[in-house]
Structure 1
Amino acid sequence: MTTTIPVAGGAFAPYEVVVGRGLLKAAGAEVAALKPTRAFIVSDETVAAIHGETVRASLAAAGLATGIVTVPAGEASKSFEQLEAVLDRLLAKGLDRKSMVVALGGGVVGDLAGLAAALFMRGVDFVQIPTTLLAQVDSSVGGKTAIDTPRGKNLIGAFHQPRRVLADIEALATLPVRQVRSGWAEVLKHGLICDAAFFDWLGNEGAAGAQGDPDALERAVIRSVEIKARIVGEDEKEAGRRALLNLGHTFGHALEAELAFDETLTHGEAVALGCAMAFRYSARQGLCPAAEAERAEAGIRAAGLPTRLSDVEHGFAADALIARMAGDKKAEGRRLTLILARAVGDAFTDKNVDAETMRAFLIEEGAA
């Protein structure tokens, strides 16, 4: 049984997110229905070894000429070097403007392959087949594609919506627990921004999802995609409401950049810590009750995710973090832009956060 969630907005062609089990084996029929001339898989070495042949065989069985290109696993592959390598491979294989890119993997692959599709022949269609929880609930939906630079995360990219997203819950069974928890951070984020009841479910009946329970995961993925689809449909290019999906990300991206995107923090762990910090900052500024910040932090920590700078085995300098935050792509005129909260389920955008106030907060949080 599958659940189909439409993603539609006035500025882009509508598409569907299909959530279910066994979708990797059915990928060929799903992709062939979109009528590409060819379908070329982009994956990373780890995912390709596990799922690459299943998807390749399914595409071939559906009558599609196909192939696969892999990049090294990890955030470092979101680079100009790997983007050029993928584009060169697509050109070498003779793909044309009616060909399709199939992104098979987590958020790194989805971002890289999506950007390659946006650039190739000035834009070709692509399908997202996310194999991590984080990618299924967040990065595969909404058309954000990007690579990183030493100056920050996701600063070079394009909006390029997929033609379809296939979220196979069975693929999550191969993930290490840390990767499931990392994705769970983005699930929690959706509750924190606009659905308090969902956030509470995640901490109670749904808590088994953070440990890999497939039924809880399926419900969490469906609800998360519903939330994101509605927001993306209202605001594709983050001119307004879509910015709320960045709760925790301004802090999180700054932490990741200071760690040079190493394995000290996964993206989801950085977002979880960032969400907790955003709620505490909101409470300290009198924007939300302290009890709501404690409620958010407790829910995040209960999932085994970090909530304090002291949870990270690395020292951070307040000025360095502020510089990263000021250079974030959401910043305007070098002012600090943060997603803050009035309560669990009630987030808002503040585009004029005072740097000195933030510095004092970061020092209170444990930064030097």
Structure 2
Amino acid sequence: MRNTPTDPLPLAQALIRCPSVTPADAGALGVLEAALRPLGFTCHRLRFGEIENLYARRGSTGPHLCFAGHTDVVPPGPAEGWRDDPFSGAVRDGVLYGRGACDMKGGIAAFVAGLTDYLAANPDAPGSISLLITGDEEGPARDGTVKVLDWMAGRGEIPDMALVGEPTSRVKLGDIVKVGRRGSMTAWITLFGTQGHSAYPQRADNPIHRLVRVLHRLTAQPIDTGSQFFEATTLQVTGFDVGNAANNVIPGEARAMLNIRFNDLHTSASLTEMLHAALRAEEARYEMRVECSGESFLTQPGPFVDALRRAVLRATGAEPALDTGGGTSDARFIARHCPVAELGAVGSTMHKADECVPVAELRDLAGLYRMVIEEAFA
């Protein structure tokens, strides 16, 4: 048994030094695989389309805990926003800098460090631990986690519980455990009228006026006031265009784009029908295309959530809040198969220039993840 905890910093730096901007892997999964094989993991590199993914598992019996994450990162942006090369993994004044330090290469390194210490203390531990690491979380999310889960299901390897290592903590480590996420859908609406001269509106049918009335119907009142675990559903008009360069022409069509973030009181299907109803109420001639990037989901309090709460309490001395806020994550795909929750570093610098994580926090996260594993298998 180790006298000192495994330091996650070297692995975090090695991962950051791989410029794995989606869809590039840039060697990141190879770095992780090299760290997992000596721990007894069987590793599978899974390529779907242009995306590289990694599934690694140790053990063959239940219970099965899966850690899910991603090694792809968003572009670093303008160089002048960074004090160091965003892929250098520099440490200054006790803080690790680099794209992915917070979201979420640091979290992956912390889990591997905590896992290493857990296995050193429990070499014959029962059950299975796996890692599902994708290169497509920050991108379209079509050839990553969802495809790996299909592959796992075909092999009978769906886990009993899954932890996503997104940087979900708000102010201090462990203050938030995300047990669900709102759904997200986008609608593109084209409303048709009759083109004409603006001096003779009686000879035309102005689609702008009709579309404005539709949007007013949709935004004048809240869709709901929230539910037990979710905040209120929101509808935002994110685009409006008529493509009209002439000031004296009533256009023949008008277009709007909407984004809806919805709670567990709705589905994308029920909200799509709400949009149709608003359009029908204005007797509109229209076309509408809808895409849902994820339905809302909730992992109800139970054994897995209780294990996470115990681990956070042991590690920090405080109970975490259960939360469902924020955008989407790959947890939306995992929720179709097993209980899933998210717990990771403080996310205040994710996607920003000079993205960073304090080294002490990274080490504390490794200790927290070790406790998560212990509580999950208790």
* TM-score (normalised: structure 2): 0.26
Structure showing greater radius of gyration is: 2
Higher relative contact order (CA 8 A, sep 6+): 2
TM-score, with length taken from structure 1 = 0.27
Answer 1 or 2: which has greater strand percent. Answer: 2
